[in-house]
Amino acid sequence: MRAMKLPLRTPRLCVREFTRADFDGILAYSSDPRVTRYLFFGPRDEQSTIEYLDGLLESQLEAPRTRFELAVEELASGRLIGACDLSMIEGGVFDLGYMLGSDHWGKGYATEIALALVESAFLELRAQRVISTVDVNNRASIRVLEKIGMRWEAVFRKHRRAKNRWWDCHMYILPREVWESERADHERTVQRTAGRIKPS
């Protein structure tokens, strides 16, 4: 059975399970049209937020679990500021996603979240590949995917119809062997750098 060790902690964020108490926070960011501009849903109202929260709380009880939709909490403020997810779409393949309230854009939080989820996908969920699809116009999200080492695979024209239009999307992928190789290269670089620094 696949399992993620939660909560995940990054230098500035806590990624944890959602609870009923998160309703107001979810509504605050997902009702913002700027936040949902490049997403297939939203903006959400109170009723759709209730239905969404009911669904993700039910998903927490799955066994084995295939959907990990998680709350993003800012450590400094203790506030719920967004959501992220890993969803298994087929054996060994997980789809990565994230969204943040607009007040928290431009701080590097999305990159922090994505790195933590990718590591959990490979180390804990035994993923063979992590993928992410992104609207072709969502340049900020594309930069995040490239920054964490994901590679462009294809563009899907008319990938999905939502909000009364067809969406063209890029697909980015990160195979396990590429992630392992880049991780090993990074560790070797750290070790070499540490060896050149003499204790004071």
Edge-first strand order for the sheet with 13-16 is 8-9, 13-16, 67-74, 80-90, 93-100, 129-135, 165-175, 151-162
In a domain, 108, yes or no: yes
In a domain, 1, yes or no: no
What is the structure's pLDDT at 195?
66
CA torsion sign for 187, 3, 58, 15 is negative
In a domain, 31, yes or no: yes
What is the structure's pLDDT at 32?
98
Instruction: Assign residue 183 the CATH number of its domain.
Output: 3.40.630.30
Q: How many CB atoms lie within 10 A of CB 78?
A: 8
Predicted structure pTM score:
0.90
What is the structure's pLDDT at 187?
80
In a domain, 3, yes or no: no
In a domain, 74, yes or no: yes
What is the structure's pLDDT at 159?
92
The pLDDT tens digits of the residues spanning 100-116 come to: 999 999 999 999 999 99
Instruction: List, for the chain, all residue ranges whose pLDDT scores fall below the cut of 50.
Output: 200
What is the structure's pLDDT at 198?
55
Domain count for the chain: 1
Contact 74, 104 (CB under 8 A): yes
In a domain, 200, yes or no: no
What is the structure's pLDDT at 1?
53
What is the structure's pLDDT at 86?
96
In a domain, 2, yes or no: no
The C-alpha atoms of residue 140 and residue 110 are separated, in whole angstroms, by: 10
Domain range for 60:
8-195
In a domain, 46, yes or no: yes
The pLDDT tens digits of the residues spanning 178-200 come to: 999 998 887 888 787 766 655 54
